[in-house]
Structure 1
Amino acid sequence: MDTKRSNERASGTDSSEAISSSKLRNLLKIGTHGTAMPLYLRAQIFTSICLPIAAIALLCGLLTNIDESSNRNFQIQVPHLYVNGTGSSMMANTYWRSLAMFSTYLTNQKASYIVDSKYISTSSGVGKSDFSNGYSLYAATDSDVSKADLQYYLPDNNPQKTNISLYTSPKTYPHLGSIMIPTIAGAMGIVYNIQGFPEGASLILNGSVLGDIFCGAISWWNDTAIQQLNPSIVMPSKMIKGTGRGDSSGSTQIFTTYLAAHSTQFANRIGISSQPKWPSSFVLGNSAVELITFLHRLSIPSHIYQWKQSCKQSIGQDPQVAILLNSNGTKTTPTTESVTQAMQKVAADTEFSRHNFLTILDVNDPIAYPIALMSFVLLRENYFWFTPGSETDCQRVKALVYFWYYFLTTQAL
């Protein structure tokens, strides 16, 4: 052992650069633009950085006891690539299933790496915030980006090379060309649980009555407007108790957009928002599954809630879903066929763009379900978040692109 190595070991250092405690504290506290990093992301980074460091220290201690003269074969470890995203809770189950299938696919293809995929179901609002602050490689959202963020989408009609600096702010340098891609279509249904409602019957609503209910203008199930839509049923004299999302949600913004378009009362009292101020009598929750579970455990079941189609699979229950009259006056429910019809009607006349936000809400079609919506993924044309020249960071981005190629081209998903 040479003198330099001996001195390094004696002083407790090594020739490679160490991660100081101050650097680690800064990493855990500060995001790309000096913003506080969310707690759940700090935990991920602590697990990803501190635990491997401890494992390396333990391994070094074990290796000192190995006879270097012995002829042993050590298995080369396959590199792990961390690919993370946050956002929409509506389509979380689909993304989780797709990531698991992608991992199996890579194993079957004998890939030279393993993708450590992590998608955290937060909300569309949190997902977009994480993405813009550089905490994630991608984000999933059910709503559009803000008007201010549109400046980060490069023009589609310019065949010449573009000077990216013309379209980005010096204070937000990582935004080097965002891309918004539609991934999944879904539907938002109306779940109800009414004491005294005839078994086997279906509640019928329209956009106007639904908006009045969700702003508190209609508060009883036997209100004249509801009774007229359900002439064959004697509606019970029970007070309506609503539930809604309390966090920032892209699907909630779509829902309030629909209600505001059909109910003047809702537009004036609540308005369009991803985090509306619901009536004080509403029960609030931070996920669809949480609210649906609450709905089924009520001792006095007279609630109504904005329900997402994936909740049935999420909680293993088959909730009662209202029939909703669309703009053509047709009775519709949130089914694959009614959502597909809405999507095909819009997609047929849509050209590709970097900011490819599609709305399939309230499509004028006899079959289409009115509260249908798309979920999107946010990516970048250029990823310059990482250490220049880092081969691992480069491979992470390649793995990210490979996953979304797999997602968008595999029919089994």
Structure 2
Amino acid sequence: MKILFIHQNFPGQYKHLAPLLASKGHQCVALTLRVKEAATWNKVRVLPYKLPERSGQNVHPWLLDLDSKVTRAEACYRAALKLKEAGFEPDLILAHPGWGEAMFLRDVWPGARMALYCELYHHAKYPHLFFDPEFDKSDPDTEMLRMRLKNLNNHLHFPRAEAGISPTTFQADTFPSEFRDKITVIHDGIDTISAAPDSNARLTIEGVCDVTRDDEVITFVNRNLEPYRGYHIFMRALPHLLKERPNARVLIVGGDEVSYGAKPQGDRTWKQMFIDEVRGRIADEDWARVHFLGRIPYDQFLRLLQVSRVHVYLTYPFVLSWSLLEAMSCEAAIVASDTAPVREVITHDEGGRLVDFFDGDALVTEVCALLEDPAARKRLGQTARKLARDRYDLHSISLPRQLEWVSGVMATDLISI
């Protein structure tokens, strides 16, 4: 079978499925903006394409998102035409439609089946919208209209696809029923063999930290440090937490960019904005126990989770982070936000402790309670790992189900376009 993968940042969510399909003898090709030169990665042929240069034009602000996606879709379409001219005829297109690239691919290959990675449908109501009023100052009525337009990308993709896949029920359920009926819930998968507890773990980053499980380590991880992942809540709780735990070391992982939501006003990053807000309430000797690690290699990230005594995870009602499940797999004692995506994987006091997203005092209370209770940490950590292995293990659960899903897509009747 010939399979075409479409992902702006390939491999992205296909980093395990694509090599597995290639290893089984399927001809796998990926089109992506991520690389500059053609290459072969784990038997997958990865081909680059470029966005066209465009002069500035007047576009209604509500249409900027769609304009960007159509630009990407056209570029991918033209790259697909060249691939077709070279003789490539995919039987199946597996695409992440979030950036628009796959919008016109069935016009190139009407005989191919297409299945979409369904990350999120944007709801124009609380709690998906207006969850955090501190940072959402938009007019409620017009913001609801803008959000409806943001979903045009989903509506342009779904009628041309046979099926979809979502990593969590929360994410799948954001889609309207006519789309939801096509979506199968299968998580991307966590390698619970690599992400596993290690009583001898040590995290050493020269000039920053050298810690083991004998140290009182509190961890907080984001791809980028920003409100969507509760960075502001954690930082505002930090002065109280450091006073309560004079021996704690706080390790914070995350970049300075923006993954979700809007950039902060002015020249400062979200990271610096909340450092500036709380720094005056933290003594120098306490601030010395706070370590911003930036983005770290995956092996260091796993050691971070393995030495963590309490791991904090906060999120808006949004896409669930892999890092939470990896922390669970490492038997971390977790304090997390009581929001819908988290409740899908953690019940309060079973696999972790849940607190109101906005309640920094409750966050500190639960973190301190776990730091004082080794038996509770052990119980929660073991339960969390069992959940991760039973429901999200990459090799025994996710990949076999994904392969079954691919077979099912190929067995469905081809939709008429």
Q: Identify which of structures 1 and 2 has the higher relative contact order when contacts are C-alpha pairs closer than 8 Å and 6+ apart.
A: 1
**TM-score under structure 1 normalisation?**
0.32
**TM-score under structure 2 normalisation?**
0.32
